[in-house]
Amino acid sequence: MATSITMPKLGLTMTEGTISKWLKKEGDSVAAGDSLFVVSTDKLTYEYRAEVTGTLLKIVVPEEGTVAVGGEVGIVGEADESVEAVPAAKVVSVEISKASGTGPVVASPSLKESSVNASPKARAFAKARGIDLSLIAGHGEPPMVHLADARAYADARIVNATPKARSLARERKVDLSAVAGHGEPPMIHVADVEAWLAANKVKSSPLAAKMAAELGVDMAGLGLDRRVMSGDVMKAAGIVPATSAAEAPEAVKTCENEADVKPMTKMRQIISERMTESVTAIPAVNYQTDVDCTALKAMRNALKNGGAKLSFNDIIMKACARVLMEMPMCNCSTDMERKCYVMHGFVNIGLAVAVDGGLVVPNVKNVQTKGLAEISGESAALVEKARSGSLMPDDMSGGTFTISSLGMFGIKHFTPIINPPESCILGVTMIEDRAVVRDGQIAIRPMSTFCLTADHRSVDGADAAKFLQRLKELLENPYLMLL
């Protein structure tokens, strides 16, 4: 029996993937376990292995084509089998359906919904679609409903549409559930999408159109007899006070032309959502201390002379793991929905790595159990995978603490933003020679400023200060880590 091959779900936040390369051609034999195609997302690439044996009867999504998670990408069956007998695949995969329900449920806001931990964009999207947030499963620790979760929930319904119709709908930001198909069973074709666009044509500025798509605002439903502007969209989403576009500041109006708009990449969208979530949902406080790196440099040089390839970050990671095991609240996650702290018995330290167009944070697992050589090897491998775009979902999940190091860029001071659902992030700056006082005398020492950003819901000021104090003690006397 012919089987639909669908786009796999490679992470909690993944909603669509791109077929970057087919490794089999139509008519090729396929065995279970064979590499079938390569999937690319905003952060990683993944080689999909077939789960069935047969012949690749049809490639539905060509190379460089993008499809939603669970969308049909190809068909495998017997060599002489008809592909027409294969039922259309669902737009959203089983994993999303299990997490979010089988389809959108329209409901009025409730007390239960208002208590849901959700990002501002997810709330605006749900409000515009009339979706009860309390029915959507979030992700992370503590669980939070993100825009991707709300979109996945809204799309978790069976919609029969041709690949070209889906592509056009994605490009023009059309909700396929609102488009009527034709035939038996009903199937949405390109002509159906084009007819819907013609019937719901709304004049708007490019910026307003992009904002409406991002926030889930139906511009046709605004009932305006003029061009829709960004202020109208923000008003409908409940983001700004109810003021008309005519009252918007002139500075806003002058930006509404195509030359001033630069679309975000998928990676930038995710970074923007997570950082907005961090600064709006987490009461973060910053703490700083100066570290004398004399002994740290001496230890690294001695180990390098012995053949070990270690970076300062490797040693800092080891020291942080030691302190985090001693101070578990700095290593926990806050779950406001359940009113509890999620205590982690392990330390997974994330490394903020700059890549083309954004930032990724893979993490070294169980740092508290590893020696410096193992930490160094794993962190170097993760950095290389990040820069080559070959990180896997497991590489970026499960982090409990993050280190962001900007010393190589000559940065002397910065305040990093917490990576939810973690409680803390450590910012590390450049090591530079400074004049300091030692035993009443001025001396020149290699110094670095460390900044800890902590979630005040789990880490009080005194505990954050103790964390930095203990970390400073270990780094200024690194051989204490051997005890």
Strand partners, 39: 19, 46
Task: Tell me the CA end-to-end span of the chain in Å, nearest whole number.
Answer: 63
User: By three-state DSSP, how is residue 339 classified?
Assistant: coil
Question: Annotated catalytic, 182?
Answer: no
> Is 456 one of the annotated active-site residues of the chain?
yes
CA separation for the pair 206, 225 (Å, rounded): 17
Question: DSSP letters of 193-235?
Answer: HHHHHHHT---B-HHHHHHHHHHT--GGGG--SS-B-HHHHHH
**Distance (Å, whole) CA 103 – CA 176:** 13
Among 218, 335, 456, 463, the active-site one is: 456
Which residues pair with residue 445 across a beta bridge?
A: 434
Query: How many CA atoms lie within 13 Å of 218's alpha carbon, on the beta-carbon side?
Result: 12
d(CA 471, CA 289): 10
Comparing CA positions, the residue from 50, 66, 60, 56 lying closest to residue 89 is 60
Burial environment of residue 168 by CB neighbours within 10 A (0 to 12, 13 to 18, 19 or more): buried
Q: Which two three-digit tokens encode residue 278?
A: 């961090």
Burial bucket for residue 415 (CB in 10 Å: 0-12, 13-18, 19+): middle
Q: In 3D, which of 420, 380, 379 has the Cα closest to residue 400?
A: 420
Yes or no: say if 231 and 249 are a contact pair by the CB < 8 Å rule. no
Distances (CA, A) of 433 to 291, 440, 443, 447: 12, 18, 10, 6
327 DSSP 8-state letter:
S
| Bond before 421 cis per omega within 30 degrees | yes
Encoded tokens for 149: 């979760």
Q: Are 278 and 423 in contact (CB under 8 A)?
A: no
- Residue tagged active-site, from 28, 260, 394, 460: 460
CB atoms within 10 A of CB 446: 17
Name the phi and psi angles at 375, rounded to 5.
Answer: -60, -45
Is 176 within 8 Å of 166 (Cβ atoms)?
A: yes
Give the residue numbers annotated as catalytic, written as ranges: 456, 460
